[in-house]
Amino acid sequence: MTELPFDDDDNFASAGLRLTVDLTALVENWRDMALRSGRARTAAVVKADAYGLGIEDVGEALYLSGACDFFVATVDEGVILRLYAPEARIFVLSGIWPGMERRIFENDLVPVIVSEEQLSFWMAVLADYGEYPCALQVDTGFNRLGLPMEDAIALADDVSRPASFAPVLVMSHLACGDDPANPMNRQQLESFRQVTAAFEGIESSLAASAGIFLGPEYHFDLTRPGIALYGAEAVNGMANPMRPVATAEARVIQTRNVKAGETVGYGRALRLDRDSRLAVVSAGYADGYMRSQSSGGVPLRQAVPQGGMGFIAGHRVPVAGRITMDLTIFDVTDVPEKLVKAGDYIELFGSNILVDDAARAAGTIGYEMLTSMGLRHQRHYVAEE
């Protein structure tokens, strides 16, 4: 094999797209949620590849910092997490279907039973396998997943229920937890109290990130923070106390000078009213930098009409024209010319452009912004010793 005349590249240093994940901030956010949870034990929700930040490194960091309960969406996620959290209790939120039994049992995963169909199948599995833990999801008004409240209470009181059916957790989910004044929160709380009374002696869980901020009444035995761990907003209209965790950056491929009156990008969506300097960067909607953050030519967005912003050399700079599949143009006219050159990196979101602000510019939420990042981001994890 021919020896190459250069050293192996540092993938992160040369990447067109970089995602830096601050594991110290992540752990501090989890500890903050644990403190706010009071007497309740605090789990960690790491579904969707830990909200786009990497279930392996995120899961291991939280596990080593004391998290002993985790929630994933699928069995596949649970199998991966088990390698990094060997003694943790891992709940699978989508439950169980035929064909999943072996991986559930072999990886010591706890299925969350979410429907009458899953309950019937699970009973049949237990008849052959014997006692095995599960969790029971109850619908208290969300009308998404879960047994109807009346059916769950009837199940708790059913003396013919097999002894092998042994839920270790009964849980529900708030529909309006991010809106503290919404009366739906109190309605669901009262409904869930009826459920927990029926399942006396079994641990219970109602609050995810937003629910934790509603106060001790909502905490029960186990809280389930998700988005707050990753630094994004959990409650509408409240200053976000969480530390930013993720920083997404894109490399500047080219800078160019453009005269006043010229147009930029597809559809001539932006006409420049001054001589301008533009930076073309290696991020687009294929990388989760959403087209709806474009500065013009996108009729769907109303919340932030001017579009998204980036951050480079100490300056906030606007998106110029339409975002495309692989490229975005930023107007860097107001940045001293010597401070922006090809090869530099611009922050798409992070500590200077908060992920929720970037999301609002796209007409969406921080959850979608984080989980939409494509595979082309080169991840780099940092942590204090």
Average pLDDT over residues 29-44: 98
Average pLDDT over residues 363-367: 90
**What's the pLDDT score for residue 7?**
54
- What are the tens digits of pLDDT across the range 87-145? 999 999 999 999 999 999 999 999 999 999 999 999 999 988 888 999 999 999 999 99
Smallest CA-to-CA distance from 229 within 374, 3, 32, 364 is with 32
For all residues of the chain together, what is the average pLDDT?
93
CATH number for the domain running over 246-382: 2.40.37.10
Domain with CATH 2.40.37.10 in the chain: 246-382
> How far apart, in Å, do the first and last CA atoms of the chain sit?
40
**What's the pLDDT score for residue 296?**
64
pTM (2 decimals)?
0.93
Angle at 254 between CA 250 and CA 255, to 5 degrees: 110
Residue 10 has pLDDT above 80, yes or no: no
Per CATH, which fold does 38-230 belong to?
Answer: TIM Barrel (3.20.20)
For 162, residues 6+ apart whose C-beta sits below 8 A from its C-beta are: 123, 126, 127
Average pLDDT over residues 192-221: 97
Domain with CATH 3.20.20.10 in the chain: 38-230
In this structure, what token pair is assigned to residue 11? 């993938």
**What's the pLDDT score for residue 9?**
56
**What's the pLDDT score for residue 375?**
86
Going by pLDDT thresholds of 50, 70 and 90, the confidence category of residue 13 is: confident
Residue 1 has pLDDT above 70, yes or no: no
Q: Please give the residue that has the higher pLDDT: either 1 or 343.
A: 343
Catalytic residues: 47, 266
Q: Which helix or strand (DSSP H or E) is residue 292 part of?
A: none
